[in-house]
Amino acid sequence: MTAKIIDGKRIGQEIREEVGLEVARLKDRGVVPGLAAVLVGDHPASRVYVRNKIKACQSLGVHSKLVALPQETTTAQLLQCISDLNRRDSIHGILVQLPLPGQIDEQPVLLAIDPAKDVDGLHPMNAGALALGREGLRPCTPSGVMEVLRREGIPLQGARAVVIGRSNLVGKPLGLLLLQQHATVTFCHSRTRDLEAVARSADILVAAVGRPAMVTADFVKPGAVVVDVGINRVEGPGLERLLAEDPSLRPRYERNRSKGIHSILVGDAQWSSVSRVASAATPVPGGVGPLTIALLMKNTVQAARVLSRK
Ligand code: GUN
Q: Which among 114, 118, 120, 203 is annotated as catalytic?
A: 120
| Cα 262 to middle of ligand 1, angstroms | 25
The answer to whether residues 35 and 53 touch, using CB atoms and an 8 Å cutoff, is yes
Per-residue confidence of the chain (310 residues) as pLDDT tens digits? 799 999 999 999 999 999 999 999 999 999 999 999 999 999 999 999 999 999 999 999 999 999 999 999 999 999 999 999 999 999 999 999 999 999 999 999 999 999 999 999 999 999 999 999 999 999 999 999 999 999 999 999 999 999 999 999 999 999 999 999 999 999 999 999 999 999 999 999 999 999 999 999 999 999 999 999 999 999 999 999 999 999 999 999 999 999 999 999 999 999 999 999 999 999 999 999 999 999 999 999 999 999 998 7
Look up the pTM and report it.
Answer: 0.96
Confirm or reject: Cβ of 292 under 6 Å from ligand 1.
yes
Q: Does residue 117 have an active-site annotation?
A: no
| Domains in the chain with CATH codes | 29-115 (3.40.50.10860), 140-231+267-291 (3.40.50.720)
Q: 143 in ligand 1 pocket by Cβ < 6 Å? A: no
CA-nearest residue for atom 3, ligand 1, is 98
Q: How many residues does the chain have?
A: 310
Long-range CB contacts (within 8 A, 24+) of 21-27: 22/301, 22/305, 23/60, 23/61, 23/62, 23/301, 24/61, 26/301, 26/304, 26/305, 26/308, 27/61
Residue 120 bears catalytic tag? yes
Instruction: Write the residue with the smallest CA distance to atom 8 of ligand 1.
Output: 97
